Amino acid sequence: MPPEPLSQKEVEDRLTELPGWSVDDGLLTRSYRLASHFAATGLVVHVAQIQEELGHHSDLTLGYDTVTLAVRTHSADGALTDLDFELARRVQESAPAHGAE
């Protein structure tokens, strides 16, 4: 059974717990700036590990010193679900260890 979409109110409430994250065109998104390309690559690897553990994957973009994530739940017709916010929460907890801002 696919995950249940969150209501607009639930999305807004959860965003207050994730500084720097926003919803753009139906995607939960965040960009992180890091000190170097090597540090950004380290964060990408860490995010990939989290995604594998959750079985839920974002669009993940690596720039020279930036990492951008964009996620929604395809099995819920592209809506935002608990899975999206759990992924964001785990990334948010992990990013400081890589020096991400």
Over the Cα atoms of the chain, what is R_g?
13
β-pairing, 66-71 with 59-62?
A: antiparallel
Residue 88's pLDDT is what?
98
What is the average pLDDT score of the chain? 97
Q: Where are the alpha helices (DSSP H) in the chain?
A: 8-15, 37-54, 82-94
- What is the tens place of the pLDDT at every residue in 30-44? 999 999 999 999 999
pLDDT tier at 51, thresholds 50, 70, 90: very high
* Whole-number pLDDT of residue 2: 81
3-class secondary structure, 40: helix
List Cβ neighbours of 72 (8 Å cut-off, separation of 6 or more): 26, 27, 28, 78, 79, 80, 84
pTM of this structure: 0.96
Asked if pLDDT for residue 1 goes beyond 90, the answer is: no
* Mean pLDDT to the nearest integer, 3-7: 96
| Spatial distance between the Cα atoms of 89 and 58, rounded to a whole number of angstroms | 13
Q: What is the pLDDT of residues 60-93, one digit of tens each?
A: 999 999 999 999 999 999 999 999 999 999 999 9
Reading the block at residue 46, the tokens are 């860490």
